[in-house]
Structure 1
Amino acid sequence: MTAVSFAASDVSKAEASLRSSFPQVKFDKVLPTEIPGLYEVDSGTNIFYYNPDKEIVIIGEMVGKDLKSKTAERRGALAANVVKDLPLDKAVKIGDGKKVVVEFTDPDCPYCRKAYEYFTKRTDVTQYVFFAPLAHPQAITKVEYILGAKNKGAAYDSMMLGQPIPATAPAPSDADKALAQEHMALAKKVGIQGTPTFYINGQQVVGADTAKFDELLK
Structure 2
Amino acid sequence: MQKRIRIAALVVAVAASVLGCPAQADQTTDKIKAALQQRLGVDAGDIKGIQKAPVAGLYEVNLGTQIIYSDVNGDYVLTGDLVDTKAHRNLTEARLAELNKVDFARLPFENAVKVVKGNGKRTIAVFSDPNCPYCHQLETTLKSIDNVTVYTFLYPVLSDDSTAKAKSIWCSTDRAKAWESWMVDRKAPTASGSCNTAAIDSNLKLGAKMNVTGTPTVILADGRRLPGAVSADRLESELSAAH
Give me the TM-score of the superposition, normalised by structure 2.
Answer: 0.70
For residue 181 of structure 1, report the CA deviation from its aligned partner: 2.4
DSSP-derived class of the 1:100 partner? strand
1:216 is aligned to 2:238? yes
Match for 2:113 among 70, 92, 105?
92
Distance 2:120 2:54 in 1: 40
User: Are 2:109 and 2:151, in contact at CA under 8 Å, matched by a contact in 1?
Assistant: yes
Distance 2:77 2:104 in 1: 27
Could you tell me which residue of structure 2 aligns to residue 195 of structure 1? 215
Distance 1:82 1:38 in 2: 30
User: Are 2:62 and 2:68, in contact at CA under 8 Å, matched by a contact in 1?
Assistant: yes
1:119 is aligned to 2:142? yes
- Taking only aligned residues, the RMSD between alpha carbons, in angstroms, comes to 3.2
For residue 88 of structure 1, report the CA deviation from its aligned partner: 1.9
DSSP-derived class of the 1:80 partner? coil
Match for 2:188 among 154, 160, 164?
164
Unaligned runs of 5+ in 1: none
Deviation readout 1:154-211 (Å, 9 max, x if unpaired): 1111121211222xx2x223621x3222222222222122211111133211112133
Distance 2:68 2:120 in 1: 38
Structure 1 segment 19-168 matched on structure 2, within 5 A: 21=35, 25-26=44-45, 27-42=47-62, 44-52=64-72, 54-56=73-75, 58=77, 60-64=79-83, 70-81=91-102, 85-95=106-116, 97-161=120-184, 162-166=186-190
DSSP-derived class of the 1:175 partner? coil
User: Are 1:205 and 1:212, in contact at CA under 8 Å, matched by a contact in 2?
Assistant: no
Unaligned runs of 5+ in 2: 1-13
Distance 2:114 2:177 in 1: 11
For residue 84 of structure 1, report the CA deviation from its aligned partner: 5.5
One-letter code aligned to 1:141: A
User: Are 1:41 and 1:47, in contact at CA under 8 Å, matched by a contact in 2?
Assistant: yes
- When structure 1 is superposed on structure 2, of 146-155 and 9-18 the one drifting more is 9-18
Cα gap change, 1:78/1:45 in structure 2, threshold over 3 Å: closer, same or farther? farther
Could you tell me which residue of structure 2 aligns to residue 183 of structure 1? 203
1:14 is aligned to 2:38? no
User: Are 1:77 and 1:204, in contact at CA under 8 Å, matched by a contact in 2?
Assistant: no
- Structure having the higher Rg: 2
Which one has more relative contact order, counting CA pairs under 8 Å at least 6 apart?
1
Distance 1:57 1:84 in 2: 40
Distance 2:161 2:53 in 1: 42
User: Are 1:45 and 1:78, in contact at CA under 8 Å, matched by a contact in 2?
Assistant: no
For residue 101 of structure 1, report the CA deviation from its aligned partner: 0.6
- When structure 1 is superposed on structure 2, of 8-17 and 191-200 the one drifting more is 8-17
Identical columns (%): 23
One-letter code aligned to 1:36: A
Distance 2:126 2:99 in 1: 16
